């Protein structure tokens, strides 16, 4: 049985394209999360729902920033 082999140039091009798309997607998600967090800053600081949302969105934002930093290291 023969294995299919990809041309190195094709996989490199595809990987670069996927990395670029990932960066664009993460940038968009980061902007949205920053906007949501900004809106939550206008709510009462002692509201348990707002506190939970701030924590969740803050965690998501940090996760997206970490992923973006990892993608930016890709070549």
Q: What pLDDT, on the 0 to 100 scale, is given for residue 46?
A: 87
Largest Cα span, the chain: 66
* Cβ atoms 26, 68 nearer than 8 A: yes
Q: Which domain holds residue 46?
A: 28-75
Q: What are phi and psi of 12, to 5 degrees?
A: -65, -45
Say if 51 falls within a structural domain: yes
Is 54 within a domain? yes
Question: Domain tally for the chain?
Answer: 1
Residue 13 lies in a domain: no
Does the residue 49 lie in any domain? yes
Q: Is residue 11 part of a domain?
A: no
pTM of the model as a whole: 0.76
Question: Is residue 72 included in any domain, yes or no?
Answer: yes
Q: Is the pLDDT of residue 44 over 90?
A: no
């Amino acid at each position: 049985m023969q294995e299919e082999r990809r041309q190195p140039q094709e996989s490199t091009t595809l990987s670069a394209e996927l990395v670029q798309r990932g960066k664009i997607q993460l940038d968009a998600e980061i902007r949205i999360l920053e906007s949501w967090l900004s809106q939550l800053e206008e709510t009462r600081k002692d509201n348990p729902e707002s506190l939970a949302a701030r924590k969740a969105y803050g965690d998501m934002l940090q996760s997206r920033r970490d992923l973006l930093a990892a993608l930016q290291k890709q070549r």
